[in-house]
């Protein structure tokens, strides 16, 4: 640990940045520098591309890119790319995909694709004066952003509406311009934010010339202009269904017994927040992995999804299950604001490959694929929890991590993987078996 500070760090070359970091923070400077440099790409052009994604880059941070095959979605087969480090996620998704492949596959529908942005402002005066001003200025607001929205409108997107919202019951003098957008195949963050900032500028300037305001009212104060990552009107539904008896895979548990226990597990997540958080985290294992692989913003998706899970006043399960007339149905409606053009989708070579693997989907198609990955992950987790328990499969996938931690060689790995096919995996059991072998 060091208390040393530095000025002008961002202006240093990458090698100078690394020199300062390793000299300041690491006892084994040679090893630290070696690790940082071993993750550089040997292709200088590709490395420069990565360096310029963010600021102050010193190396690349790798995540495994896996593939979950055999996803039947609306009668089309997909192999789904997943970028994630957690053991058993890709295996679980693949297993769920295979399970539903012979039972009709996944069905999906995009319910809506509206996104929201807001101009937050303070107004000290007569609310009726403000309403009259908004009515007068609304056409001018839309006219002012025409140069920004022209290309988006060509692609089928644009600004859907602008509303004036009175929030003074929560914060004194606080109002919003609440704007709804359609951004076609783009996630649209830059487009939305640029439009909002122009709205704010026009809204402020035109107020100075509005005769219906007093002098004081003309000084309305813009606080900020920003898109919202809460997108409850950008919704996609994913579901699976089959005859209850078709859920049975072996004689150990009947389809009806499995379905009833599964539904009870979902019901618990619907009313118990402590369970719902973990339940929904499992859904996000699948969603985040595909969102990341396709160059989208998983942090925005996470924030929006968890807000949606709390929309009724308490945090609850995103997925639901039922039996009706002998049919088991498992489904989820989830907000997803995704893009397949712009941002990393046009820059990152692996993102381009991931999107090509998915058949170069539109934003709506990608919404459906991502939702299915989340539902599949949730199905696999609940299936394990209500039958064998979650740890049996997870720890067998985690076995390789433990072996790598203790630098097991190829021969040792083969021997111990075979050994733990019939023995319970735990950290201590693996260490003990490895020591015996050695």
pLDDT of residue 2: 67
* Cα-to-chain-centroid distance, residue 269: 21
Structure tokens at 354: 């991931």
Dihedral sign (CA 67, 72, 73, 78) = positive
Asked if residue 338 and residue 251 are part of one domain, the reply reads yes
* The one catalytic residue among 115, 120, 348, 394: 394
Please check the confidence at residue 393 and state whether its pLDDT lies above 70.
no
Please check the confidence at residue 175 and state whether its pLDDT lies above 90.
yes
Contact 305, 231 (CB under 8 A): no
Select from 371, 388, 405 the last residue of a domain: 388
Q: Does 1 map to a domain?
A: no
Select from 227, 260, 279 the last residue of a domain: 227
Per-residue confidence band for 415, with pLDDT thresholds at 50, 70 and 90: confident
pLDDT of residue 391: 53
- Give the 3-state secondary structure of residue 62: coil
Q: Does 56 map to a domain?
A: no
Asked if residue 279 and residue 218 are part of one domain, the reply reads no
Q: Rounded mean pLDDT of 155-171?
A: 97
pLDDT of residue 417: 79
Q: Name the residue among 86, 20, 52, 177 with its Cα closest to residue 401.
A: 86
Asked if residue 383 and residue 240 are part of one domain, the reply reads yes
Identify the weakest region by mean pLDDT among 97-101, 367-371, 411-415. 411-415
Asked if residue 370 and residue 274 are part of one domain, the reply reads yes
Please check the confidence at residue 13 and state whether its pLDDT lies above 90.
yes
Cα gap 258→110, rounded to integer Å? 29
Residues 247-279: pLDDT tens digits? 987 777 899 999 999 999 999 999 999 999 999
- Give the 3-state secondary structure of residue 334: strand
Asked if residue 334 and residue 292 are part of one domain, the reply reads yes
Query: Edge-to-edge, what's the strand order for the sheet holding 115-122?
Result: 158-166, 174-182, 115-122, 221-227
pLDDT of residue 360: 97
Asked if residue 212 and residue 104 are part of one domain, the reply reads no
Cα gap 343→333, rounded to integer Å? 26
Contact 334, 376 (CB under 8 A): no
Cα gap 244→248, rounded to integer Å? 8
Structure tokens at 345: 């989708």
The CATH number given to whatever domain includes residue 179 is 3.30.70.420
Structure tokens at 66: 């896996």
- Please name the helix (run of DSSP H) or strand (run of DSSP E) that holds residue 226, with its range, or none: strand 221-227
* The one catalytic residue among 14, 281, 396, 413: 281
Select from 193, 227, 261 the last residue of a domain: 227
pLDDT of residue 395: 60
* The one catalytic residue among 95, 297, 365, 398: 297
Cα gap 287→147, rounded to integer Å? 35
pLDDT of residue 128: 97
Q: Does 4 map to a domain?
A: no
pLDDT of residue 411: 82
Identify the weakest region by mean pLDDT among 21-25, 61-65, 245-249. 245-249
pLDDT of residue 397: 63
Q: Rounded mean pLDDT of 63-89?
A: 97
The CATH number given to whatever domain includes residue 369 is 3.90.770.10
Q: Does 126 map to a domain?
A: yes
Q: What mean pLDDT is reported for the chain?
A: 93
Asked if residue 252 and residue 104 are part of one domain, the reply reads yes
Please check the confidence at residue 222 and state whether its pLDDT lies above 70.
yes
Among this protein's residues, is 297 annotated catalytic?
yes
* The one catalytic residue among 86, 257, 270, 333: 86
Q: What is the DSSP string of 40-57?
A: S-SSHHHHHHHHTTSSS-
Residues 310-351: pLDDT tens digits? 999 999 999 999 999 999 999 999 999 999 998 888 899 999
Asked if residue 256 and residue 145 are part of one domain, the reply reads no
pLDDT of residue 96: 97
Dihedral sign (CA 379, 380, 383, 385) = negative
Residues 105-140: pLDDT tens digits? 999 999 999 999 999 999 999 999 999 999 999 999
- What is the number of residues in the chain? 438
Identify the weakest region by mean pLDDT among 1-5, 236-240, 429-433. 1-5
pLDDT of residue 184: 93
* Domain with 167 in it: 115-227
Asked if residue 253 and residue 152 are part of one domain, the reply reads no
Cα separation values, 317 from 213, 263, 339, Å: 48, 12, 26
Q: Name the residue among 72, 69, 68 with its Cα closest to residue 242.
A: 72
Among this protein's residues, is 281 annotated catalytic?
yes
Q: Name the residue among 320, 290, 301, 299 with its Cα closest to residue 382.
A: 320
DSSP state of 342: S
Name residues whose C-beta falls within 8 Å of residue 26's C-beta, 6 or more positions apart in sequence. 32
Asked if residue 71 and residue 42 are part of one domain, the reply reads no
pLDDT of residue 427: 77
Q: Name the residue among 333, 415, 324, 394 with its Cα closest to residue 367.
A: 333
The residues with which 329 forms a beta bridge, in sequence order, are: 241, 322
- Give the 3-state secondary structure of residue 360: coil
Q: Rounded mean pLDDT of 60-85?
A: 97
Asked if residue 308 and residue 199 are part of one domain, the reply reads no
Please check the confidence at residue 394 and state whether its pLDDT lies above 60.
no
Provide the domain count of the chain.
4
What is the largest distance, in Å, between two alpha-carbon atoms of the chain? 89
Q: What is the DSSP string of 77-136?
A: EEEEEEE--STTHHHHHHHHHHHHHTTT-BEEEE----EEEEEEEE--S-HHHHHHHHHH
Q: Does 59 map to a domain?
A: no
Asked if residue 378 and residue 240 are part of one domain, the reply reads yes
Contact 199, 179 (CB under 8 A): yes
């Amino acid at each position: 640990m060091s208390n040393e500070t530095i000025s002008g760090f961002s202006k240093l070359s990458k090698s100078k940045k690394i020199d300062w970091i390793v000299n300041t923070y690491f006892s084994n400077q040679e090893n630290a520098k070696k690790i940082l440099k071993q993750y550089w790409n040997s292709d200088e052009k590709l490395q420069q591309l990565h360096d310029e994604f963010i600021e102050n880059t010193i190396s690349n941070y790798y995540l495994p890119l896996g593939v979950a095959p055999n996803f039947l979605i609306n009668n089309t087969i997909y192999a789904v790319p997943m970028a994630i480090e957690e053991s058993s996620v890709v295996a679980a998704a693949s297993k769920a995909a295979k399970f539903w492949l012979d039972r009709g596959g996944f069905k999906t529908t995009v319910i809506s694709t509206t996104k929201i942005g807001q101009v937050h402002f303070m107004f000290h005066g007569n609310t009726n004066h403000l309403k009259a001003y908004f009515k007068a200025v609304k056409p001018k607001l839309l006219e002012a952003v025409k140069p920004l929205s022209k290309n988006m409108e060509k692609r089928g997107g644009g600004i859907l509406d602008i509303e004036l919202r009175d929030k003074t019951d929560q914060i004194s003098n606080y109002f919003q311009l609440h704007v709804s957008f359609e951004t076609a195949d783009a996630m649209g963050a830059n487009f939305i934010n640029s439009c909002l900032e122009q709205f704010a500028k026009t809204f402020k300037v035109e107020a100075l010339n509005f005769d219906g305001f007093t002098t004081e009212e003309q000084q309305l104060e813009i606080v900020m202009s920003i898109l919202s990552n809460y997108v409850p009107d950008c919704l996609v539904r994913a579901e699976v269904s089959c005859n209850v008896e078709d859920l049975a895979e072996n004689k150990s548990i009947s389809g009806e017994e499995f379905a009833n226990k599964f539904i009870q597990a979902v019901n618990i997540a619907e009313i118990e927040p402590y369970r719902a958080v973990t339940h929904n985290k499992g859904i996000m294992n699948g969603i985040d992995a595909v969102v990341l692989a396709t160059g989208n913003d998983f942090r925005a998706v996470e924030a929006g999804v968890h807000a949606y899970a709390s929309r009724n006043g308490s945090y609850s399960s995103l997925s639901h299950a039922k039996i009706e007339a002998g049919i088991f149905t498992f489904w989820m409606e989830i907000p997803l604001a995704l893009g397949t053009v712009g941002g990393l989708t046009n820059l990152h070579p692996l993102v381009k490959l991931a999107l090509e693997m998915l058949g170069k989907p539109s934003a709506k198609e990608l919404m459906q694929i991502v939702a299915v990955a989340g539902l599949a992950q949730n199905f696999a987790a609940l299936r394990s929890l209500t039958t064998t328990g979650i740890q049996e499969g997870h720890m067998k996938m985690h076995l390789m991590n433990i072996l790598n931690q203790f630098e097991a060689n190829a021969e040792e790995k083969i021997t111990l993987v075979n050994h733990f096919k019939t023995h319970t995996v735990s950290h201590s059991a693996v260490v003990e078996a490895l020591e015996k072998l050695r």
